[in-house]
Chain A
């Protein structure tokens, strides 16, 4: 197991390197970091020269890349284009926990509900429930996430304006008089974004769980368990479910890794001050350095969770290790 983990970790290092090259190449080289500023008549030549010097923009591209990597590793992701005193990490440090809180909350709910729906659909295949769940998941796959978010906002804003019912808040992380991280107020703010994220995840997990459960239920060892007279609950819960859960572990680890950078739209609509709005704002101001830092962090998250998925899979299913 230890050798497997070491091998797997070593394998992700070149991937991370390739990702950093790709990110740097696609952002800095394709788009001139100063393009937007140069169009501004108030942007002086002196400032331009100072930025070029500070960011080493007149050096060859591989040298620029080396400077950037050095900044990322030793200098808290370096500085934004215009504020030499600031560190990019200062902003990231604030937004990452917000995103993590939202993603963990919604993924936990989605996993619980999705697995429940999937298992029940599988043991009652072709029942009314099964058809309803299938229709729901098709609907989930066809919903534009941003539209769902707006619909929830409309419904809950109108509930507040018309009937004075305040169940959930439709934007922000906290009410203006509160600053807590783990409290009812925060939960009321996170409920709608979490709901938005869970719909798609539930659709995905329930489909996946149904397929994997059906496969296991029709296997020989489950028939044996029934044949020797075990009660139906023991067969489904202890024998079938345990094996059917294996693929879900991988899928959920991958989804989780992807969601850290994938909740952009939801976070932006609900103004959550997470990774998403940070990314969008820097794209709008065309500041390449925070954008690259953001891409680097999300890419690292994807690679890390890929790694985690593989290791978990090998742990649960020992046959994998010996291939």
Chain B
């Protein structure tokens, strides 16, 4: 038999912890609901008895009304997502180490030391991740590689978000022929075989510069977001408050930027986060195949490519750069999941 209806797992735990929190000494706050009128307790899962109980405490301490913005709720929801919070901490540590590579790395990324060629990972001499054939320290090279990946991924996320949001907003707000043209364009880019196009572009346009790689990636990654933004704009532009804004004489640009866009920020942020992960993976694959970032710039994909020739005798040359990529992307995906739960509760997937 199935056990439908029984409170199990996380949902049950959440109820228990909520109750535990409520019975604490601090007076719980009451917040104003999204419509500005109804009072809702700050903690979710309202149950009659609990709410009354809470109100009683509130009365004891004098009615304390604290208005909370949508963002405060989102922040609270995100902070509760334990996996996402843990991932955030790990990610900040890794990315911070990448940014500060110049200060942290025990060696520079291209320092050749032929006496210490192919040293296995050890704490001696600070070769934590071993050295390559010419004695370059892989720990340092990976730190600098993280820095490159960060720069590329950040650029890709920024560019594709700007492109996607602009195209989606124009298509959704104006509709009609501009919508038609822009969406056909989006469909066309979506059906392109991504990796093949990237490889072809890199091969024939010339490769090497990390900025060029970033731009090529961004030109391919904006489609998903454009569709999401368009969808939201299509429904939001029909709302009464937009009509009101038009009635008082606001221009299109002001309506788009001030009135509609803030309501779409949630999905945009989630999408940008996930793009960072995809960009890191794709850039690494391109660089690995020799069509992305070129040596001597240290990128994680380049490091793996270098290590591949010696992988059977020096496993650390492949294992560590790859594991770094996995860790970064895994953290980003967990954070993206947490952000989706926090910012986009309506589109919430069954809690995974």
List A residues at the B interface (Cβ < 8 Å).
15, 18-19, 22, 26-27, 30-31, 123, 125-127, 134, 138-139, 141-147, 150-151, 153-154, 157-158, 161, 211, 214, 232, 258, 261-262, 264-265, 268, 279-280, 283-284, 286, 288, 291, 294-295, 298-299, 302-303, 306
Contact = CB atoms under 8 A, between A and B. Distances in A.
Contact of A27 (B204, B311, B349): B204
Contacts of A158: 312, 315
Given A150-B304, A150-B318, A154-B312, 7 more contacts: A15-B191, A126-B9, A144-B329, A146-B288, A268-B289, A280-B199, A283-B200
A122 B174 CA distance: 42
A269 to B, nearest CB: 8
B79 to A, nearest CB: 20
A264 to B, nearest CB: 6
25 contacts: A15-B191, A18-B188, A19-B191, A27-B204, A138-B330, A142-B326, A142-B333, A144-B281, A144-B285, A146-B288, A150-B304, A154-B318, A157-B312, A158-B312, A232-B2, A261-B193, A261-B195, A262-B195, A265-B289, A283-B203, A288-B204, A291-B200, A294-B196, A302-B193, A303-B191
Given A143-B326, A157-B312, A261 B196 contact: yes
A151 B291 contact: no
Contacts of A145: 285
B10 interface: yes
B81 to A, nearest CB: 14
A211 B196 CA distance: 30
Contacts of B193: 258, 261-262, 295, 298-299, 302
B315 A279 contact: no
B204 A286 contact: yes
Contacts of A27: 200, 204
B95 to A, nearest CB: 15
B308 interface: yes
A154 B8 contact: no
Interface string B273-285: 0000100010011
Q: In the complex, which of the residues B1, B197, B333, B350 has the most CB atoms of chain A within 10 Å of its own CB atom?
A: B350
B304 A125 contact: no
Contact of A279 (B188, B191, B196): B196
A295 B200 contact: yes
A154 B304 CA distance: 13
B169 to A, nearest CB: 26
Given A123-B2, A232-B2, A264-B199, A161 B312 contact: yes
A284 B204 CA distance: 10
Closest 4 CB pairs of A and B: A31-B204, A126-B9, A147-B322, A142-B329
A147 B188 contact: no
Interface of B: 1-2, 8-11, 188, 191-193, 195-197, 199-201, 203-205, 277, 281, 284-285, 288-291, 301, 304, 308, 311-312, 315, 318-319, 322, 325-326, 329-330, 332-334, 337, 349-350, 352
A161 B204 CA distance: 41
Contacts of A144: 281, 284-285, 288, 301, 322, 325-326, 329
B195 A142 contact: no
A261 to B, nearest CB: 5
Nearest to A261: B193
B311 A232 contact: no
Contacts of B330: 138-139, 142
Q: In the complex, which of the residues A127, A144, A151, A158 has the most CB atoms of chain B within 10 Å of its own CB atom?
A: A144
Given A144-B285, A286-B203, A264 B195 contact: yes
A154 B312 CA distance: 6
B188 A150 contact: no
A294 B197 CA distance: 11
Q: In the complex, which of the residues A15, A146, A258, A303 has the most CB atoms of chain B within 10 Å of its own CB atom?
A: A146
B88 to A, nearest CB: 15
Contacts of A18: 188
Given A141-B333, A262-B195, A279-B196, A126 B8 contact: yes
